[in-house]
Each structure stands twice: as structure tokens, then as C-alpha cells.
Structure 1
Amino acid sequence: MKRAIAVGLLLLTATPALGQERDYCPTRPGLGTTPCTISPKRVSVETALTDWTRDDQTDERSDTVLIGDSFVRVGVSDSIEAQVGWTPYGHVRTRDKASGAIDSKGRVGDVTIGAKANLLHPDGSGLSIAVQPFAKLPVGRKPVGAGTWGAGVIVPATYDLSDTLNLATTTEIDAAVDEAGHGRHLAYSEVIGLEFKLSSALSATFEGKVTRDEDPGGATTKGLASASLAWAARDDLQLDIGAVAGLNRSAPDLELYLGVSRRF
């Protein structure tokens, strides 16, 4: 009897430990997001150390640099996590091609709050699906902040095609802020990507994204292509680098970024 009780207590105490051993799955890098959730009582801090975007349009060119753009995920239950994101600093430099005038602004960005509920396989294995509603709070100011609140919902899904190949999709529908800085309109996007596991620690991801934005000032359709590398330096630490290229005139020309993700 004593032996049976001892074995039972051992199994009870081992169960939470097994839950903590779920593989780390940051949302970085790339254009889409992941359906897996952080284990209960664990925290993931995912930061773009630097992020530069160039947008060269017919009448002007803008360069945007974000520093420390961060996303924090907190495990609430086995399949639910709470989320908060914030851009502590962004700098936008715009040059008018006709006059040569240059306008530079440094601003704090907005705060994003949300949650993710995994519907199937919270560790991201096999076929995994989640729902992620969010809201953006107008903490910052334009041109880094949006100027007023926005909201939306993201539905990410992944499927393991093999031990080394993973198919991912991310569907998003937003009540996006109007370019004028007040009011909201419909915007929606779709991301499709393939992740290749090159080794136990290194993976490469290739994605395509199409966004339709029904802004009252002028509707646009943007196409993007992305390539990124992620290196798991340790079980709880990932470094990443990536590039995004615009595929049509409405999309920004180029984005380069470098980031780090750490689980606590």
C-alpha cells in the first residue's frame, strides 16, 4: 500500500513537469503567426531588436525604423495564452521627391492586447488551429501609432507534412484604422508559408502574403514575399533574421529585421 501511494504521488508531481517540457514555439519570425500556445505559467518575450522598412512610392520615399518592438505571451491554461505587444520607439523619415523636403519623426507606438485559444494540438504538432482576437490601443502617435483604436481576429493553422516540412496559413480580418487617423474600415489578409527544418536547431521559412485594405481614402491590394531563418540557441532562446520584399507598387519595397525570443 505504501509503495502504491508513493508511486501515485510521484505520477501526480511529474505531470506538471511534463507540461513544462513543451517545445518553445515563438511567433517570430515571418509574416504569419503560430497556433501553438505557451505552457501554463510560462512567459515568452519576443522582440525585434531592429526592424527597417523602405517604401519608395511615386511621389515620396519613407524609411521606418522600429527599435525594441516587443510581443509578450503568458500561458494561462494548457490551450490559452494572454498577449500584449508594444513598440517603444519608431522613427519615420519621409522625403518628398518633388521638393526634396525631408520630414523626420520619432514616436512611441501603440499597444496591442489580445489572447490566443488553441482549438487543436496546443503544442503545434500535427494539425494545429487557433483563434486569436486582439485590440490596438492608441497609446502612440502617428506616423508610428495609428491615431485611434483598432481590432481584429487572427486564425493561424499549421500542418506537419513530414518530420522536416511544415505548412502554415494565417487568416486575418481587421477593423483597421483609416489612413486619416479616425474611423475604421475592413481589411483582411492571408499568409501561406512553408517551414523547412534544416537541423535540430535551425529552420528556414518562406511565405507569401496578400492584403486587401478597404481604406476610404483609397483601397489597396498588397503582395509580399518573405524569407527568414530561426536558430534555437537553447531550449528557451531563439534568434532570428528575415527579409520581406514587396511584390507590387502598393506594397513597401523592402523590410529587414533581426530579433530574439526568450521563454521564462
Structure 2
Amino acid sequence: MAKVLAWALSAAAVMIGTPALAQDEPRFCPTRPNLGGSSCTTEPGRVHVEMSALDWERDDQSDQREDRIVTADILTRLGVGKNTELQLEWVGYGRDRTRDKANETVDTVTGTGDVTFAIREHLAGQKGKPFSAGIQAFVTAPTGRYPVGAGTWSTGVIVPIQYELTEKIAIAVTGEADAAANQSGMGRHLSYSEITGVRYKFTDQITANAELSLERDDDPDQHETLALAALSAAWRPTKVVQFDILAAAGLNHAAPSLRLVTGGAILF
């Protein structure tokens, strides 16, 4: 009996003496639902899966109205190093409906979208430190039918920076420069943008973001500057599951009128 009691006390001492191992939280940092990017990478050997259950966008112009619905937009992130991850994104289904206001004709296109390959590197920032930065390079293959897909390949670089002002408030800036696909589906042009956002953490489970986006698109057919404002929120019922929603509105004539996105993420 004495030996059994001694063994039980020893086991309890080991469990009490090493609580950090049981309490270590996984690095769960979905990029969604923000418009901007993130420098956070997936831990080696683990996989993030992020998906848009529904992504609807309306673009009202003087001569036409376009509605686009995307579902099963799946992003898979694989940690391959301490600060490095690989990404694969595929748009499973899209439906684009364009109505010509002059003659009331309607053109509808459905199909799968493009595939994007990316690599993300976390450059600066540690847990508990306020500043973080990273870089992400990507290339998109034209596997989808235009206008659900771009019609030709494109590539670009994203640089996200974040600074935590307090435990609850953080500001983020994301710069991006792309060799974007021409609207004609042939060739590429320069497109660049900056997204500035503020994140507020209500609790460990609930966060909200407010963002402003300004993009310059030098498409040969039409040079445009697009301005957007967005609000988003995320809820994490567990440490490895997230549900989220985003609403964005155009601030000028060139930008899409409205966009609504719902979806979530899970860590394996």
C-alpha cells in the first residue's frame, strides 16, 4: 500500500510540475476574414484549412450590373519550417451573372476558379512582442473559365506589418504589388494596393476588424483606382476552429458596390 501511495504521489508531482506542456496553445492564426494579409505562419507539420462558404459581390455600373457568387474557395496552409509555410488555394465553384442595362440581356458563366500557389515567410516578431512582419509571394494558374477565373496566369508579392498597441488593439498595414491578369484574359499589368486596418479583441474568442483599402489597377483597357471599406468579425468556439463574416462596400464608382463573405477555418 505504501508503495502504491508513493507511486501515485510521484505521478501527481510530475503532472503538477509540467503544466506548460498540457497548456501550450497551438499557433492558430487564420488569414481570413481580413482584406489584408498576415505574417503568421503555420507550425511545422500542421495544416490550416480556410474556406469561404459563400462569397457574394455586386458591381453596379452605369451600363451593367454584375453579380458574382463563389463557394468552396479553399485555402490550405502547410507549415514546412519554423517561420515558413506553403499555401494552395482553389476556387471550387463560381457563378458570374452580368446584366446589360441597355438591352436587358443577361450573360451567366459558371465553373471552377483558378489555383494559387504561395509561400509565406515570417520575418520579424515573436509571441509577446508587439511588432510583426512577413512576406508572401504567389503565382496564380488560370485553371478556371473567365470571368470566374482570370483567364491567364498572374503573380505578386504581399508584405503585411502589424503592431499591437495594447492587449486588445492592434493596427496592421498590408502592401501588395502584382503582375495582374488583364481583363481581356491576355497579358498582365501592374496593380498595387495598400490596406490599413484596426483590430479589436473583445475576448479570446471574439475579434473584430475595420479596414480601408486603396488599389491602383493599370489594366490597359481601363486604368482605375478602387477604394473599399470593410468590417469583419471572427468567433472561435475552440482553440482550433473559427467562424467568421466580412462585409465590404465600395467608396468610389470604380470599386464593387458590395461584398459579403462567410466562412471559417480549422487547424489540424
TM-score under structure 1 length normalisation: 0.91
Q: 1 CA distance for matches of 2:127 and 2:252?
A: 36
More displaced stretch, 115-124 vs 53-62:
115-124
2:52 alignment counterpart = 48
Q: 1 CA distance for matches of 2:25 and 2:161?
A: 22
Q: Deviations over 1:22-47 (max 9, x none)?
A: 43110000210111111111100000
Report the alpha carbon displacement of residue 205 of structure 1 after superposing the two structures with TM. 0.2
Q: Deviations over 1:34-93 (max 9, x none)?
A: 111111111000000001000000100010000111111101111000001010100001
Q: 1 CA distance for matches of 2:120 and 2:183?
A: 28
Q: Percent identity between the aligned chains?
A: 43
2:97 alignment counterpart = 93
1:149 aligned to 2:131? no
Q: 2 CA distance for matches of 1:215 and 1:112?
A: 21
Q: 1 CA distance for matches of 2:231 and 2:154?
A: 28
1:50–1:65 contact (8 Å) kept in structure 2: yes
Report the alpha carbon displacement of residue 124 of structure 1 after superposing the two structures with TM. 8.5
Q: 1 CA distance for matches of 2:48 and 2:63?
A: 41
| Selected match of 1:179 from 172, 180, 183 | 183
| Selected match of 1:109 from 101, 107, 113 | 113
Q: Does the residue aligned with 1:146 lie in a helix, a strand or coil?
A: coil
Stretches of structure 1 that go unaligned for 5 or more consecutive residues are: 1-9
| Selected match of 1:159 from 159, 163, 178 | 163
2:26–2:239 contact (8 Å) kept in structure 1: no
2:61 alignment counterpart = 57
2:198 alignment counterpart = 194
Q: 2 CA distance for matches of 1:200 and 1:26?
A: 14
- When the two chains are superposed, the root-mean-square deviation of aligned CA atoms in Å is 1.7
Q: Aligned in 2, Cα 1:60/1:39: closer, same or farther, shift over 3 Å?
A: same
1:136 alignment counterpart = 140
2:75 alignment counterpart = 71
TM-score under structure 2 length normalisation: 0.90
Stretches of structure 2 that go unaligned for 5 or more consecutive residues are: 1-13
Q: Aligned in 2, Cα 1:209/1:124: closer, same or farther, shift over 3 Å?
A: farther
Q: Which has the larger radius of gyration?
A: 2
1:214 aligned to 2:218? yes
1:36–1:121 contact (8 Å) kept in structure 2: no
1:255 aligned to 2:245? no
Letter in 2 for 1:173: A
1:21 alignment counterpart = 25
Runs of 4+ with deviation above 6 angstroms: none
1:30 aligned to 2:34? yes
Letter in 2 for 1:46: E
Letter in 2 for 1:209: S
Q: Deviations over 1:207-247 (max 9, x none)?
A: 00000001111110000000011001110000001100000
Q: Aligned in 2, Cα 1:238/1:75: closer, same or farther, shift over 3 Å?
A: same
May I ask how many residue pairs the two structures share in their alignment?
250
1:37–1:122 contact (8 Å) kept in structure 2: no
Q: Does the residue aligned with 2:186 lie in a helix, a strand or coil?
A: coil
